[in-house]
Amino acid sequence: MSYNPRWNKSTLIFGGAAAWALLLVGCVMADRTVMAPPAIAGATYAGTKKCEQCHEDLTAHFDGATHSNLALKDAKAGDITCESCHGPGSLHVKAGGGKGTIVNPGKSPEACFACHLDKRGEFSLPNAHPVLSGQVTCNDCHDPHKGKVIKRTGAELETPNETCTKCHTAQKGPFLFKHQAMVEGCTICHNPHGTVNQKMLVARDANLCLRCHLQHPEAVVVSGVPGTIGDGKIVAGNEDHRTRLQNGTCWVAGCHEDVHGSNASKAMRY
């Protein structure tokens, strides 16, 4: 007697779901390489302990840095966390240091792009810091050996804004009337790696400002009658801005031209 299985709709559904589950588990459990350290011709891994002998000023705080989580291992050299970004260091150690024997991310962003591939894409957008052309380096803003990588924060008790205003001094102030966005941080309005918008803004035209400044229509009262939802008003600063926004963005057309802060106008008009 032979057995002929009967395939019905329920069998196909549950069988298909089980197959997908096995496939997903296989993908999650697969042991695969996430990133590969830079290669240096003729060099082998020396191990982080060798790096510490000369670069104690950089390794002293590295255990508390987010980049220390890489913690790569080599069968012979042991911990090669430093070399995961700088490449194998045997030739560098043998030569007692020197150029050409180690990868320096401060000179080229390629070492950073090995992991941060999305940032390469952002730097290729129309408005970006000139990292790809070599005029700016990742290390100008980031310190991978300390804390959360952003320079001038953490133990230095300064805000991430200090990293930006180191170069953009005109926007630093102090201002009598400060834009609250400057308190929250430059990246509220800007993406420092690059965007499709002018000035590396995260959104174009008045839509950027209205993210924070848009108010309920009831904020505008005409002849004692408050506005209502659906009446078409675009309310900011307790005023209807419908006609004003037709003249351009908030920071042009004689409006809020000093968006970072002003010493003369509370509304930051000049």
Split at pLDDT 50, 70, 90, the class of 14 is low
How far is it, in rounded angstroms, from Cα 97 to Cα 38? 18
C-beta separation of 255 from 206 below 8 A: no
171-178 average pLDDT score: 90
188-213 average pLDDT score: 92
C-beta separation of 87 from 36 below 8 A: no
Which of 18 and 226 is assigned the larger pLDDT?
Answer: 226
pLDDT of residue 3: 52
| Residue 92 three-state SS | helix
Q: Answer yes or no: is pLDDT of 93 > 50.
A: yes
Beta bridge partners of 225: 222
pLDDT of residue 221: 79
Which of 221 and 189 is assigned the larger pLDDT?
Answer: 189
Helices (H) and strands (E) counted in the chain, each on its own, are: 10, 8
Going from N- to C-terminal start, the domains of the chain cover 48-103
pLDDT of residue 119: 94
Q: Which residue has the tokens 């209205």?
A: 210
Cα 21 from chain centroid (whole Å): 34
Q: What stretch of H or E contains 123?
A: helix 117-123
How far is it, in rounded angstroms, from Cα 262 to Cα 178? 7
C-beta separation of 114 from 36 below 8 A: yes
To the nearest whole number, what is the mean pLDDT of the chain?
A: 82
Tell me: the pLDDT tens digits for 26-60?
A: 554 444 445 667 888 999 999 889 999 999 998 88
pLDDT of residue 248: 76
Query: Which DSSP letter does residue 7 get?
Result: P
pLDDT of residue 50: 92
261-270 average pLDDT score: 88
Cα end-to-end distance, the chain, whole Å: 94
Backbone region of residue 259 per phi and psi (left: phi > 0; alpha: psi in -120 to 50; beta: other values): alpha
163-169 average pLDDT score: 91
